[in-house]
Amino acid sequence: MTTKVDPAESQRQGISPPTERVVAVVELLGANPDGQFTLAEICRRLQISRATGHVILTTLAAHDWVTRDPVTAAYSWGPAIASLANPTDTHRCRDDLQALAAATGTQVHLSRRQGQTLVIDQTAGNCSTGPRIGPGLRTPLVAPFGREYVAWAAPDVQRAWLEAIGQPSPALRRRMTSILREIRTRGFAVERLTTEYLRVYTALRALTGDGEVDAITAQLARAFADLTVIDVLPDELGAKASHNVAIISAPITDATGAVTMSVTAAVFTTVDSARIRMLGQQVSRTAHNIEARIAGYPPAAP
């Protein structure tokens, strides 16, 4: 691996010194896919200036070739470049999405994790009661959003996700602990439809246009978490209970068991408890079928 960029060595015909610096950064992080490096460490190891290192890493982060930890500000190997080595043809899942949209009468979409954001890969169907959602739309992976991505993660990962918005209140911490446990049990997350949700969600999508989760994004997410009831617990799903539901999402895991994508049904209406359970099961079944399709196994029978 290249651990030093020597400008004199790069003066050969056809060689671009700025490009070699980018390659050196990628090689450093790629050789340590589970490690994290601060900007100072990267610049010291590669003997490049801090200004140059900052420009390179900011650009790579914008394209999800590297990820920046919002707590430590350290950089690590990003999902976008990792996917180049193991590409996933999600267009093979088009039939699954269309079948789910037809069965649920909703718009559905397939999202992919890219660093600290979730990016919609493709959609199917329509939702007459909610906003039209298109491919490429980004939302931040910051608490309380993206619960289906962290519900199966290690406790320290869940804690970092929750505390990235600041120290949560004891009540919010208890609620999120119960919610993540319930998502692991039932297999899907439920987002309540409220005025606050619509306003905050719209603002968060705009703030995450560059792929970064900054302090403003974190504070807005925290305000939302403190002001609304997150998800739905079993004792709230009474036989006669009805709930205003925005979306229902289920995780898709890769070969290592990590959640890398999700399937979502955009409901945006009032539904009863039985309907929530049915939609959750349909979304979860589609997520499992996509997992099997990507892995090369036949999907389960409906």
Two structure tokens written together for 223: 């305000």
259-283 tens-digit pLDDT: 999 999 999 999 999 999 999 999 9
Query: Which is higher by pLDDT, 285 or 4?
Result: 285
Q: Which residues, 6 or more positions from 213, have their beta carbon under 8 angstroms from its beta carbon?
A: 70, 116, 117, 140, 141, 142, 164
Residue carrying the six token digits 């925005």: 246
User: Which alpha helices (H) appear in the chain, and where do they start and end?
Assistant: 17-30, 39-46, 50-62, 79-85, 94-104, 147-150, 155-163, 170-186, 195-207, 215-227, 273-295
CATH number for 88-295: choose from 2.50.20.10, 1.10.520.10, 3.30.450.40, 3.90.25.10: 3.30.450.40
Q: Is the pTM of this model over 0.85?
A: no
CATH number 2.60.120.1570 given to 7-84: no
Q: In the chain, what percentage of residues exceed pLDDT 90?
A: 47
Mean pLDDT of 60-70: 78
How much is the pLDDT for 80?
61
Two structure tokens written together for 53: 């290192």
pLDDT band per the 50, 70, 90 thresholds, residue 1: very low
206-230 tens-digit pLDDT: 665 555 667 787 788 888 888 889 9
147-190 tens-digit pLDDT: 999 999 999 999 999 998 888 899 999 999 999 999 999 999 99
How much is the pLDDT for 129?
85
Can you give the residue ranges of every domain in the chain? 7-84, 88-295
What average pLDDT is seen over the chain? 84
- Report cis status (omega within 30 of 0) of the bond before 144: yes
Q: Output DSSP code: residue 13.
A: T
95-149 tens-digit pLDDT: 899 999 999 999 999 999 988 888 888 899 988 888 777 777 788 888 999 999 9
